[in-house]
Structure 1
Amino acid sequence: MTVHHGWYLLAFRSELTDEITPLAVGPRRLIALREGDRVRVLDANCPHRGAHLGYGGRREGDCLVCPFHGKRIGLGDPSKHWSVAEHRVLEWGDALFVRLSDDPDGDRGFERSVQGWAEEYPLVAAVSLPVDVPSEYVVENAFDPDHFKAVHGVPGNRGMATRDGEHGELVIEGEFLMQTSPWQDARTLEEIRWEAVRTGRVRWDFKPRFHAQAFSPNVVVTEFGPAETRQVIVTGSVPTEDGGCVARVAIGVREDQRGALPALLGGSGKALAEDKVVWEHLDHTMTPRYDARDEPVLAFRRFCADFCADFPGGRDDR
C-alpha cells in the first residue's frame, strides 16, 4: 500500500465526536484535537512507548497526558523532551483537510484556491463511504471521461483535456452534453424525454462546464455548471490499513442556489454508490490495455508518482 504525502479530506466536522478524536491515514495514526472552533491534527503515537494518545489520552494545559505512563506530551513543540508532530490543517465549511509532509511542493496551490472558494461556496458534507479499493481510484474518476456515461448515465462530454495548473496541480476541463440540468424537477425532465421520443431529435440544451483540479492524489475540487449556477464539488479519499479507503464528497453552492443543495447531496450519494460497485469488482492483477481515451487517466497516474510518501510507514509494497 502506498500512502501519499500532500492534502487529504481527513474528516467531516460531524465525525469529530470528542475533544480528542483518533483518526488515521493508512498506517499513519493521527488525532484531531478540538480547541473551541479550531481543530488541530497531530501524530497520535506517544514518543515514549507508542501508546495511542487518542484512546485514553487527556488534555492538560498545552500537553496531552499519555494513557500508558502518564507522561506529558507536547503538541507540536520540538523544544519539549516529549512531543508529537503537528500537521497543517485547513477548515472549509464542514470539511477538515490535513497536509502530510512539509514538502514545499506538497500544497500545489490548494490553500490559495480554498481562500478563493470558501466564503462564496461553504462546504456541506454529502457522503462518507468505506470502499474496498486503493484510495487514488476515487480522485482518478474525475480524470476518466468515459466513466461518466457508462457508470452515471451522462449522455456525453467533449473536450476533457488535461493540463498542468499554475501551482503544479493537475487540471482537466471540458463540458458535459445534456438535454437539461439534472437538478430540474422530475416533471420537466419527463417532458423533455418525451419530446425527444416524439421528434426523434435530442437537443443538447444544457452544456455545463466541467473543471476539476487535483491538488494531491487524494483531493480533487470540481467546478460544475454555468457561472450563474456553478457548484463546487470536493471529492477526497483517505486510505485505510486494509488497503481500502474512505471516500468523502462535500458540496458547495452560493447562497442564492441553496435550493439545489438537497438534490446535489442525494445525487452525490447515488453516484458514489454506483462507483463503489465498479471499484470493488476490479481485477487489479490484470495488465490494462489503455487507449487514446485513457490519456487523462494516465496523466493522473503520472501526477500521483510525484507524491510518494517520505514518512515512516508511508510505503508498503506487500
Structure 2
Amino acid sequence: MTMESTTVHNGWYLLAFRSELTREITPLAVGHRRLIAVREDDRIRVFDADCPHRGAHLGYGGKRQGDCVVCPFHGKRINLGDTTRPWSVAEHTVLAWGEALFVRLTGDPGGDRGFEQAVTAWETTYPLVEAVTLPVAVASEYVVENAFDPDHFKAVHGVPGTRGMATRTGDGGELVIEGEFLMQTSPWQDARRLEEVRWEAVRTRTVRWDYKPRFLARAFSPSVVVTEFGPPDEVHVIVTGSVPTAEGGCVARVAIGVRGDQRSALPVLIAGSEKALGEDKVVWEHLNPRAAVEYDARDAPVRAFRAFCADFGGLTDAAGEAGAAR
C-alpha cells in the first residue's frame, strides 16, 4: 500500500460532485483541512469547518441559522465568511462546473493559474458530468502526474504510441503538455468496429495510424488537470482531480464534458475512465515512494510537473498544523 504525502497545497481541488452534497451542510476534507459545503438553493459555498471556540466540527450537528451555523457543541452562532466578526469561519473560492465542484484553498492571488477564465470558456460547450470517484492509497500528486507521463499510456493502458508530448507554461501560469496519440481508430467506436480494425491489421500485417487525436492537458494545480482529447470534430474534455485524505492516500475523481451533439459517447467515455483509473490504481498502490528515483530523458514532462508542484506551498490547517510543500 503506497501512502506518503498528506500535504494540503494552495490552489485548486476537485472537491466533490453535486451528488455527494445531499444535505444543507455537508462535511468535507482536504487532507487534515476540515471543510463544510453549505447549500443555498442551487448555490454551494465552502467554509472552514472548525468552530473557533473549541474546535467542534460544524458539519456534524451544526444547524443553519441565517448567515450563521449554530455550533453543535456550545450553541454559539458562527458567522459564515465574515472574518471581521468575533466568531466566524473563512470562506473559500468555489467554482461549479456542471456536476463538479471546485474549491481554491489559498491566500495567494496567483494561485488561480488561469483556471477561472478557462472554465468560463469551457463550461457552456462542455458541461461536466460525474464519471468516476475512486479512493486510492497513493499520494495525491500521482493522479494528476499521469497526464505528464507519456510512456505510461502504452505500458499501462495499451495506447499504441504517442508523438510530441512537450510541456510549456500556459498564459495563466498553468503547466501544459501537448502532443498526439497514435491509434488505429477511435477508442469510442463500438466493440465490433474495433475488432474489425485489429483483424485487418493482422491480416495485412500493416498497422495504419488513421486516428491521431490531439492530447492537450493543462494542470492548474498539483490536484487538477483538464485534458482536451480528440480531433477537431470530436473533442472531449476530461477533468481529473485528486483530494488528499488525512490517512495519506487520496480520492481520485474524473468528470467528462462533451458537446451536446456527442452525448451518445458519454457511456463509453465513462466506462473507459473507470477502466483506466482501475488500471492506474493497481500500479499506484504498489509503488515504493521511498525508492531512489532515476529519471531518464523521456521523463522530462514528469520532472516538469514535479517542479510545477514545488511552486505550490503547503497551507496551515484549521488546527494550526502547517503543511510542507513536496
Which band: TM-score by shorter chain? Answer: over 0.9
**Deviation string for 1:57-109 (max 9, x for gaps)?**
00011100000000000001023110000000000000000000120110000
> 2:165: which partner in 1?
160
**Counterpart check, 1:210 vs 2:221:** no
Matches within 5 A, 1:260-279: 260-279=265-284
Distance (Å, rounded) in 2 between the aligned partners of 1:96 and 1:168? 22
> TM-score by structure 2 length?
0.96
Paired residues of 1:28 and 1:314 also in contact (CA < 8 A):
no
Matches within 5 A, 1:241-256: 241-256=246-261
Q: Secondary structure at the match of 2:150?
A: coil
Shift of 1:314: 4.5
**Counterpart check, 1:96 vs 2:96:** no
**Deviation string for 1:172-221 (max 9, x for gaps)?**
00000000000111111111111111110000000000000000000000
1:123 to 112, 121, 128: 128
Distance (Å, rounded) in 1 between the aligned partners of 2:324 and 2:257? 35
> 1:294: which partner in 2?
299
Q: Secondary structure at the match of 1:307?
A: coil
Distance (Å, rounded) in 2 between the aligned partners of 1:314 and 1:269? 34
> 1:36: which partner in 2?
41
> 2:140: which partner in 1?
135
Q: Which amino acid aligns with 1:31?
A: I
Paired residues of 1:11 and 1:95 also in contact (CA < 8 A):
yes
- Percent pairwise identity: 75
Q: Secondary structure at the match of 2:253?
A: strand
> 2:323: which partner in 1?
315
Q: Which amino acid aligns with 1:77?
A: D
Q: Which amino acid aligns with 1:13?
A: R
> 2:116: which partner in 1?
111
Distance (Å, rounded) in 2 between the aligned partners of 1:148 and 1:204? 16
> 1:284: which partner in 2?
289
Distance (Å, rounded) in 2 between the aligned partners of 1:123 and 1:205? 29
Distance (Å, rounded) in 1 between the aligned partners of 2:145 and 2:13? 14
Paired residues of 2:313 and 2:324 also in contact (CA < 8 A):
no
Structure 1, gaps ≥5 residues long = none
Structure 2, gaps ≥5 residues long = 1-5
Matches within 5 A, 1:186-197: 186-197=191-202
Shift of 1:3: 1.5
Paired residues of 1:120 and 1:253 also in contact (CA < 8 A):
yes
Runs of 4 or more consecutive aligned structure 1 residues displaced over 4 Å after TM superposition: none
Distance (Å, rounded) in 2 between the aligned partners of 1:250 and 1:108? 20
Q: Secondary structure at the match of 1:202?
A: coil
Q: Which amino acid aligns with 2:310?
A: A
Q: Which amino acid aligns with 1:83?
A: S
**Counterpart check, 1:8 vs 2:13:** yes
Shift of 1:285: 1.3
> 2:57: which partner in 1?
52
1:80 to 78, 85, 90: 85
Cα root mean square deviation, aligned: 1.1
> 2:239: which partner in 1?
234
Distance (Å, rounded) in 2 between the aligned partners of 1:246 and 1:97? 14
Q: How many residues align?
A: 318
Paired residues of 2:167 and 2:301 also in contact (CA < 8 A):
yes
Shift of 1:17: 1.8
